[in-house]
Amino acid sequence: MEQFLKEIILEAGQMTLDFRVRLGELNVKHKMDKDLVSEADVAVENFLVGLIQKRYPDHAIFGEESGQHTGGEYRWIIDPIDGTTSFVHGQPYYSISIALEQAGKTILAAVNAPALGELFTARLGYGAYLNGSPIHVSSRTQLSDSVMATGFACIRGHSSFTNLPIFNQLVPILRDVRRYGSAAVDLCYTACGRMEGFWELNLKIYDVAAGALILHEAGGRFSDFSGGTGQLSHEVLGTNGHIHEQVMDVIVRALKDIDHKSQD
């Protein structure tokens, strides 16, 4: 299944590059005011679902755009374009993200950033790779030496509880912050040591399932803001492991400030 996954995600990547040369004609719809879906997202997901159903007709599938397709103990989790906003704006930081679960546990993952020529892969217990070469998280231990990425799904989703208080607490003590536009790429960049961490609120399992396994296999840590690993998406914190507790402390302080202010 690992070779099959690599083949289909590379073909899907080429599809996005073909769409990219005619972005001006791309049909783009709004799921919500800032949440876009393009004809490329739908075409890529339909392509991937068709290939998986043909090869593994008894497997379940959960795709961002087409929802649940029932099946057995194996489930493919697909984000056909993670970073649609980046994609629609002609920026390279978008990816195709695919994870394979067996009985609820992610066993295979691939994140393809085709405009960057980068394919991240992992198999549970067998390490993480970038274009076939092993990757590992960075060894930085200080927040002042660390670069982290984030995103603002919470604001896009008009959530009452947003990322901004955490952002305002973290930015002054980090070396710097990045907002690339693809949660899957953010987790993979942490996995290969280009950044020390990524945090975000209000994500979905298809945003993070593949990136979480790649980060884990690269020696990183993935949890919610309290260090728990039960729920994969609402609160997401992925780091090189060395800064995880420090970041959680900052987040807890930021959330306490919100509680205090809301009671004033």
- Residues contributing to the site for Ca ion (CB under 5 A): 64, 79, 82, 207
Pick between residue 82 and residue 118 the one whose CB is nearest to ligand IPD. Answer: 82
Contact between 220 and ligand IPD (CB under 6 A)?
A: no
Pick between residue 65 and residue 217 the one whose CB is nearest to Ca ion. Answer: 65
Cα 76 from Cα 81, distance rounded (Å): 15
Q: Are 220 and 120 in contact (CB under 8 A)?
A: no
CB of 88 to Ca ion, least distance (A): 11
Using the rule CB under 6 A, give the single segment among 10-18, 76-84, 102-110, 245-253 that binds ligand IPD.
76-84
63, 92, 114, 181: which one binds ligand IPD (CB under 6 A) = 181
Pick between residue 82 and residue 186 the one whose CB is nearest to Ca ion. Answer: 82
Residue 214 tokens read as: 């790649």
CB atoms within 10 A of CB 12: 24
Q: Are 15 and 38 in contact (CB under 8 A)?
A: no
CB of 264 to ligand IPD, least distance (A): 30
Place of tokens 């609820």: 104
CB of 82 to Ca ion, least distance (A): 4
Q: Are 134 and 127 in contact (CB under 8 A)?
A: yes
Contact between 82 and ligand IPD (CB under 6 A)?
A: yes
Cα 145 from Cα 218, distance rounded (Å): 20
Place of tokens 């004609």: 25
Contact between 112 and ligand IPD (CB under 6 A)?
A: no
Write the CB contacts of 256 (distance below 8 Å, at least 6 apart in sequence). Answer: none
* Partner whose footprint covers residue 153, from ligand IPD, Ca ion, none (CB < 5 to 8 Å by kind): ligand IPD
Residue ranges in contact with ligand IPD by CB under 6 A: 79, 82-85, 151, 153, 181-183, 200, 203, 207
